[in-house]
Amino acid sequence: MKKITIAIDGHSSCGKSTMAKELARRVGYVYVDTGAMYRSVTLYALRNGLFREDGTIDEEGLQASMPDIHISFKFNAETGRPDAYLNDELVEQEIRTMEVSDHVSPIAAIPFVREAMVAQQQQMGKEKGIVMDGRDIGTTVFPDAELKVFVTAAAEVRAERRYKELLGKGMEANFDDILKNVQERDYIDSHREVSPLRQADDAILLDNSNMTIPEQNEWLMARFEEAVREEE
């Protein structure tokens, strides 16, 4: 069976990573969470004092540090999914905190950060057989992907999902703070100068506001099977 490239884009906290991971597991493809890559850069910036007190970013300092920021993914046998590593340190839990969520969109909007991450992502997908999710996979990273999906859901629904996810991990969470973060990230992601979040012209739209996780997994599996048949 011919391998294809699958690009899944969409708004924050809309469940695209969950469905992308599950599809990759079911069909034996490599999964790459590009959001985790930007979150890892953000964690590095927070740890190394690259955010000023007024919230602005020391871009000169960050650019000088980019050669020292190495992001990789390693398979987790317990979950059956890859975890993110920053300079060989497991950071899967740390990059999911609200502190990182509050700072990631400005980092992801910086042109030299996006350029570095896109280059890494394109290298990862050279051999196809990959499922990648993010904000600009179908428009910038893999514009020729055989299957493109754009996922969205109501902001309140996405905030509720994120709230429950954090509580389930034993982390502190406030629904109103999360909703504000979701709305702010939507605006920044859609209005940034480089690779803004938008639906590719040939992407299939999925609004999963009223879908269960099994329902969206089956929907995506059906789209995958259709795309593979078209390539045969």
- Cα gap 207→148, rounded to integer Å: 14
- Cα gap 42→105, rounded to integer Å: 9
Classified as helix, coil or strand, 74 is strand
> If pLDDT is split at 50, 70 and 90, which confidence band does 171 have?
confident
Q: State the Cα angle at 178 between 177 and 183, rounded to 5°.
A: 100
At 44-86, the pLDDT tens digits run: 999 999 999 998 999 999 999 999 999 988 888 887 778 899 9
At 125-161, the pLDDT tens digits run: 988 999 999 989 999 999 999 999 999 999 999 999 9
- Cα gap 181→120, rounded to integer Å: 27
Q: Which two tokens stand for residue 7?
A: 């690009």
Per cent of the chain over pLDDT 90 is 75
Alpha helices in 129-174 (DSSP H): 155-168
Q: State the Cα angle at 138 between 34 and 186, rounded to 5°.
A: 65
pLDDT value of residue 73:
87
> If pLDDT is split at 50, 70 and 90, which confidence band does 169 have?
confident
Residue whose C-alpha is closest to residue 216's, from 135, 133, 138: 133
pTM exceeds 0.85 for this model: no
